[in-house]
Amino acid sequence: MAFATILSLLSLAAAVLAQVTSTSLSMALFDDSDQMPHLRAMKWNITYYDRDAVAPGYWFVAPYWYLFGEKHSNRWTPCQVGPYIYDQDGELIWAGSCKYENRNVWNFKVVDIDNTPHLALRLVASPDEPGTDGSMVLLNDRYQEVSRTPIPAADYDTHELQITSNPRRGISIVLYPKQLNLSAFGQPEKTTHIDTGGFIEFDLDTGHRTFQWFADEHIALDESFVFDHTDETPNPDYAHLNSVQKTGNGNYLLSARHCNTIYYIDGSTGHIIWRLGGKRSSFTANFHFERQHDARFLTANETHMSLTFLNNAADERAVFEPFSSAMHVELDLTSMTATLLTLYPRPDGKITNRRGNVQTIRTSGLSSSSVPGPNGTDTDTETTNALVNWSNDAYISEHTLAGTLLMEARFASHRFDTYRAFKFPWVSRRPSQPPALVAFAHGMRANTSAFSSLSTTVYVSWNGATEVRRWRFYARAPRPSNSTATYGYMNFTNPRVEIGSVPKSGFETAFTVPGYLSHISVEALDVNNRILGFSEEEVVTTPPYWAAGTGAESPGPDDPEEILAALQPRPELELEPEPESVLDGRLSVSVLLLLLALVFMAGLVLGRGAAYLPPLLARVGRVPVGAWRRVRSLGYLPWVLTWTWMGRSNEAGYSKVEGGEVHIVHLAERERGRDW
C-alpha cells in the first residue's frame, strides 16, 4: 500500500500546489470536453476478506470537501468534487466532477425510471448563484440529462432524495424555520425558533408538490434529545430528519436523528403509526440506538417487518457506545416486540459521529433500487449483502446479511467525504461523449533506420463506458495536398491503417508504436469485438525540442503502412535469437569505453616513459615522442563519448512511457507537463 501513500502525498502536494499556482482560470476550467484534462479522481485503499462473496456492481459515491460548497475563486481547482462511479477494484468508471463544475452532489445512485436504469443525483446550486436551490438531475445510461427539476422548496435539505418511477416523484427532506411555543414544557407564553422541517413529495416533471409533512405537527419538542428548553437559545434542530423512504403501500419510514427514533407514517393522514426507539417507542426492543441514519425497510409481510439503519451511537457532542454499527432488526407487529437480527460493527471499531448509510444489495441478480418494504419488493435475505458507508474518508464496508465482513475500503486521500455510498449494477455501452484520445510523439529521427528512435504513444479513455474490452488503433498518413486546402499541408485522403489493438486496462489505456504517426483514431470494442464507439481523429502532439532549434530537425510523419510492415514479422522475430537490444547497445558501448580507457592508460604510461627514454623509443619503434603524447590525449575521449551517449538516450524519451506507477487518471496529462 506504499503506492496509496505516495498517492495521498501526491494529492497533498497537489493541494499545496493548487494554492500556490493561483492562475486566473475558474469556471472555464470545468470544460465538459471528452478529454477532461483537469480531472483528478480519488484513489481507494481496499481490503478484501472474501472477494468472491461480495455482490456484483459498481460503487456510486460523491466526494465533497466543503459541506456547503465553496465559492468559486480564481484559484486553480482540479475536478474532484461530484459524482463518481468506481468498479470494485477502485478503478474509475465515470467521473462527473468536470460536468458538474465541482459542485456538491448528494444521493448519487441508480434508480429505475419506467423500468430503465437511470442515474439520479441532487445537484446543489452553484455557489455563484445565491438564492437558488439546485436541482434534481436524472441521467440516462449515456450520461445525458433527461430531466433537471429545479428544487421546489426554499430550504431544501441535502439528506434525502428518493425517486419513484410510477408516478415519477421525488421525495426529499425540507427545512422550514418556525416559531413554536413551549406549552409542552408548561411555558405556553414562551416561544422558540425551530428549523427542523419535514419532508415533501413532488412531481419530477413539473416540480409541483404532491405531499408534505411537517415534523412540528407530529413530533413534540420533548421527544428530542438535544432540545433543552432551559437553554437561553435551545437547539433549533430539535428532530433532525435525515432519511425518508416511501413504501410500496404509500406510507413513509422516517428517521429523526435528534429523537433517536424511527417513525412509520401513514401516507394519507400523516399520522404516526408506530415509533421505534426514543422516548416513546411503540416496541419492546432488545437493542437500542442513538443518532441513527438511513432507516430502510428490507422485508415485510402482514405481521413482520425488517429494516436496516446505521446506529451512529454518537454525535458531534457525545459518544454513547464504544463503536458505531449498522443494524438489521425485525419488528413483530402482533406482539410489538423488536429484535436485533444482525449487528454489523464498524470494522475498525471507531465512531461515525454523523452521516453514513446502509444499503442492502443482492449478491445475485439485480440489486433493488426500487422500494422494498411493505407491499414492495421482498428481498431474498439469503443472497443479500449489506454495504455500509461509515462516512469518514468515504469509509465503506460490505458484509453478508448475516454479518460477516467481506470488504472495507476508503479513499486514499483524507480530504474528501461522501455522504452516502451505494452499489448497483450499471451498464453504459455508449456514453454520448466519444472516447477521448491524446497522443504524443517522442524521440529523434536516426539515420540508420527509418524510425528506430521514434515512437508514438496513444492514451485513450471513455468516461463512463462499462463494456469496452479492447481498443483498436488506426493511423492515417497525411499527404501533401496540391490543392489550396485550408488545413495547411495536411490532407486526409489517405486510408486509415489499423496499427494494433490492446485490451482495455483501467480507466486510461496507453499504447505505444514505433515511428512517428501524425494522425490517430481509436475504436472501442466489446467482449464480442463489436464496435461500441470511436474517437475523433487526433493530431499527434510533437515534442517541443523538435521545433526548439536545438539542432534536432523535425522529422516528418511516417507512413503507417510502413510501420505496420515493420511490425508484421514480429512473432517470428521473437523466436529468433535476441536481436540487439538496448542492453546490448549499452554493453557494447561499455566495452568500447573500457578499451578506450586502456588506450588512455597505455598512452599515459608510454607517453611518460617516452619522455624519459626518447632516444631508445625513437630507435626501437621509430615513433616520434610527439606521437605518444597524442596517444595519451586519446585518454580524454571516453569521457566525451559517455556524456554524448547519455545525452542521446535521454533525448529518445522512452522513460516517459515506461512504468504504470503514475496517477490513476491522466498519464496523458503528465506528458503535457501538468502532472503534480
Judged by CB under 6 A, the stretch of 14-22, 123-131, 419-427, 628-636 that binds ligand NAG is: 419-427
Q: Which of 36, 37, 38, 45 binds ligand NAG (CB under 6 A)?
A: 45
> 319, 351 in Cβ contact below 8 A?
yes
Choose between 487 and 612: whose C-beta lies nearer to ligand NAG: 487
Closest separation in Å from C-beta 74 to ligand NAG? 28
Transcribe 149-180 into DSSP letters: EEP-STTB-SS--EEETTTTEEEEEE---EEE
Q: Which of 150, 167, 177, 188 binds ligand NAG (CB under 6 A)?
A: 188
Q: Which of 22, 47, 206, 335 binds ligand NAG (CB under 6 A)?
A: 47
Closest separation in Å from C-beta 573 to ligand NAG? 26
Closest separation in Å from C-beta 251 to ligand NAG? 7
Give the separation between CA 92 and CA 464, rounded to whole angstroms. Answer: 9
Q: Which of 4, 566, 625, 631 binds ligand NAG (CB under 6 A)?
A: 4
Judged by CB under 6 A, the stretch of 268-276, 283-291, 300-308, 430-438 that binds ligand NAG is: 300-308
Q: Does 501 bind ligand NAG (CB under 6 A)?
A: no
Q: Which of 165, 375, 512, 649 binds ligand NAG (CB under 6 A)?
A: 375
Q: DSSP class of residue 669?
A: H
Q: Does 341 bind ligand NAG (CB under 6 A)?
A: no
CA 647 to mean position of chain CA atoms? 39
Q: Which of 356, 543, 603, 653 binds ligand NAG (CB under 6 A)?
A: 356
Closest separation in Å from C-beta 568 to ligand NAG? 27
CA 402 to mean position of chain CA atoms? 30
Q: Does 302 bind ligand NAG (CB under 6 A)?
A: yes
Choose between 446 and 566: whose C-beta lies nearer to ligand NAG: 446
Judged by CB under 6 A, the stretch of 310-318, 359-367, 388-396, 461-469 that binds ligand NAG is: 388-396
Transcribe 617-659 into DSSP letters: HHHHH---HHHHHHHHHGGGHHHHHHHHHHHHHHHH-GGGG--
Q: DSSP class of residue 449?
A: S
Choose between 8 and 509: whose C-beta lies nearer to ligand NAG: 8
Contacts for 28 with CB less than 8 Å, ≥ 6 apart? none
Write out the E strands in 517-625: 519-525, 531-534, 538-539
CA 115 to mean position of chain CA atoms? 27
| Residue nearest to ligand NAG according to CB distances in the complex | 391
Choose between 183 and 568: whose C-beta lies nearer to ligand NAG: 183
- Angle (deg, nearest 10), helices 582-612 and 637-652: 160
Q: Does 481 bind ligand NAG (CB under 6 A)?
A: yes
Closest separation in Å from C-beta 218 to ligand NAG? 11
Edge to edge, the sheet with strand 241-246 lists 241-246, 252-256, 261-265, 272-276
Q: Does 421 bind ligand NAG (CB under 6 A)?
A: yes
Q: Does 183 bind ligand NAG (CB under 6 A)?
A: yes
> 311, 324 in Cβ contact below 8 A?
yes
Judged by CB under 6 A, the stretch of 50-58, 480-488, 499-507, 646-654 that binds ligand NAG is: 480-488
Q: Which of 249, 284, 364, 550 binds ligand NAG (CB under 6 A)?
A: 249
Judged by CB under 6 A, the stretch of 161-169, 289-297, 414-422, 542-550 that binds ligand NAG is: 414-422
Q: Does 447 bind ligand NAG (CB under 6 A)?
A: yes
Neighbours of 97 (CB within 10 A): 26
Give the separation between CA 593 and CA 640, rounded to whole angstroms. Answer: 10
Q: Does 252 bind ligand NAG (CB under 6 A)?
A: no
Q: Does 389 bind ligand NAG (CB under 6 A)?
A: yes
Q: Does 355 bind ligand NAG (CB under 6 A)?
A: yes
Choose between 394 and 668: whose C-beta lies nearer to ligand NAG: 394
Q: Does 301 bind ligand NAG (CB under 6 A)?
A: yes
Identify the three-state secondary structure at position 3. Answer: helix
- The grid cell for 258 is 435528534
Closest separation in Å from C-beta 270 to ligand NAG? 15
Q: Which residue has the cell 462511479?
A: 85
Q: Which residue has the cell 597505455?
A: 602
> x/- site string to ligand NAG, residues 55 to 74, per CB under 6 A?
------x-------------
Identify the three-state secondary structure at position 108. Answer: strand
- The grid cell for 147 is 430531466
Give the separation between CA 424 and CA 368, rounded to whole angstroms. Answer: 8
- Angle (deg, nearest 10), helices 582-612 and 614-621: 120
Q: Which residues pair with 646 in a beta bridge?
A: none
Choose between 498 and 553: whose C-beta lies nearer to ligand NAG: 553
Judged by CB under 6 A, the stretch of 77-85, 122-130, 302-310, 651-659 that binds ligand NAG is: 302-310
Q: What are phi and psi of 434, to 5 degrees?
A: -70, 165
Closest separation in Å from C-beta 481 to ligand NAG? 5
Q: Does 339 bind ligand NAG (CB under 6 A)?
A: no
Q: Which of 353, 368, 391, 397 binds ligand NAG (CB under 6 A)?
A: 391
Closest separation in Å from C-beta 227 to ligand NAG? 15
Q: Does 351 bind ligand NAG (CB under 6 A)?
A: no
What sections of 236-349 are H helices per DSSP? none
Closest separation in Å from C-beta 188 to ligand NAG? 4
Contacts for 488 with CB less than 8 Å, ≥ 6 apart? none
Q: Does 491 bind ligand NAG (CB under 6 A)?
A: yes
Give the C-alpha distances (Å, rounded to integers) separating 355 from 195, 445, 564, 632. 19, 59, 57, 79
- Residues in contact with ligand NAG, total (CB under 6 A)? 39
H/E/C letters for each residue in 193-235? EECCCEEEEEECCCCCEEEEEEHHHCCCHHHCCCCCCCCCCCC
Burial of 548 (0-12, 13-18, 19+ CB in 10 A): exposed
Q: Does 648 bind ligand NAG (CB under 6 A)?
A: no
Pairing of strands 84-86, 92-95: antiparallel
Closest separation in Å from C-beta 169 to ligand NAG? 19
Q: Does 418 bind ligand NAG (CB under 6 A)?
A: yes
* Upper half-sphere CA count for residue 20 (Cβ side, 13 Å): 7
Residue ranges in contact with ligand NAG by CB under 6 A: 1, 4-5, 45, 47, 61, 181, 183, 188, 249, 300-304, 355-356, 374-375, 389, 391-392, 394, 396, 408, 412, 417-421, 447, 481-483, 485, 487, 491, 493
